[in-house]
Amino acid sequence: MKFTILGSGTSVPHAKRSSSGYWLETENGTILLDCSASAVHRMAQENLNWANLDAIWISHFHLDHIGGLAPFLFGTKYAPETQERKKPLKIFGAEGLRKVVENFDKANDYDLLKQPFPLEIIEIEALDKFEILKNVEAVAVSVPHTEESLAIHIREKDKTIVYTGDTGFTMVLGDFARNADLFVCECSFVEKSPVETHLTLPEAMHLARYARPKKMVLTHLYAEWDGVDLAKEAAKFSPLCEIIEATDGLQISL
Ligand SMILES: [Zn+2]
Ligand SMILES: [Zn+2]
């Protein structure tokens, strides 16, 4: 699998970090993990085959995670690259996803659900196993952020990736990410979080030591991380695995 970071930032505009989006290339197709407004053009900037994308995972309905979905579907509806496409695009997320997409659509009768190719919206229940792509198995768990927020565990053959989406601290993630080849974990704040629905570095490192993933990417970084040496700060916690600071455009092969 190959993982490309489109946006390592948050909803707050930042010169170097665009908002959430991660491209996962597998042997069985491609998945976009979260779709911020900036992710739509970031896919093209990274020369990714967006017109052939197989699946989109929406972790929750905050606009820095879903706000690009309507613009993307507006693009695929009219783009020359997608007019001959026959295979379906599947969009996965929590209960309520269909209603959010329909409300985007109704804002101005965009008719986003009518595409040149079949479009499927699939609402996932926490703990139900599903195939996000053929032969790529996934399962989601609820995390403390918004009511619908889900973290996802993706497995292809013997490789596993876990993506937290936005989350507060929960040891559920420690078990969920155990021994993962790649643990993509939000780490919004350096030391103290103004809210309980995001993680700080000490909390993320606690999860790292418990979960023992092979590699851990810290992402969803607010501007207070600017000028902080993330790797050096993380090393102080002896995290027992490789810790990688997310940057836009970073690629990780598994
Ligand atoms: Zn967010
Ligand atoms: Zn959020």
pLDDT digits (tens, 9 = 90+) for 132-170: 999 999 999 999 999 999 999 999 999 999 999 999 999
Question: pTM of the entire structure?
Answer: 0.98
Q: Which ligand is nearest to the CA of 36?
A: 1
DSSP per-residue codes, 51-101: GG--EEE---SSHHHHTTHHHHHHHHHH-GGGTT--S-EEEEEETTHHHHH
Neighbours of ion ligand 1 (CB under 5 A): 64, 166
- Residue 70 in contact with residue 58, Cβ under 8 Å? no
Backbone phi and psi for residue 89, each to the nearest 5 degrees, phi listed first: -110, 125
pLDDT of residue 40: 98
Tens of pLDDT, residues 6-58 = 999 999 999 999 999 999 999 999 999 999 999 999 999 999 999 999 999 99
160: CA distance to ligand 1 center in Å?
23
pLDDT of residue 35: 98
104: CA distance to ligand 2 center in Å?
18
145: CA distance to ligand 2 center in Å?
7
Q: Which ligand is nearest to the CA of 195?
A: 2
100: CA distance to ligand 1 center in Å?
17
Q: List the alpha helices (DSSP H) in the chain.
A: 37-45, 63-66, 69-78, 97-106, 172-176, 201-211, 230-235
Q: What angle do CA 99, 65, 7 make, to 5 degrees?
A: 160
87: CA distance to ligand 1 center in Å?
30
How far is Cα of residue 69 from the mean position of the Cα atoms in its chain?
13
Can you read off the two tokens belonging to residue 206? 């606690």
How far is Cα of residue 49 from the mean position of the Cα atoms in its chain?
17
- Residue 241 in contact with residue 208, Cβ under 8 Å? yes
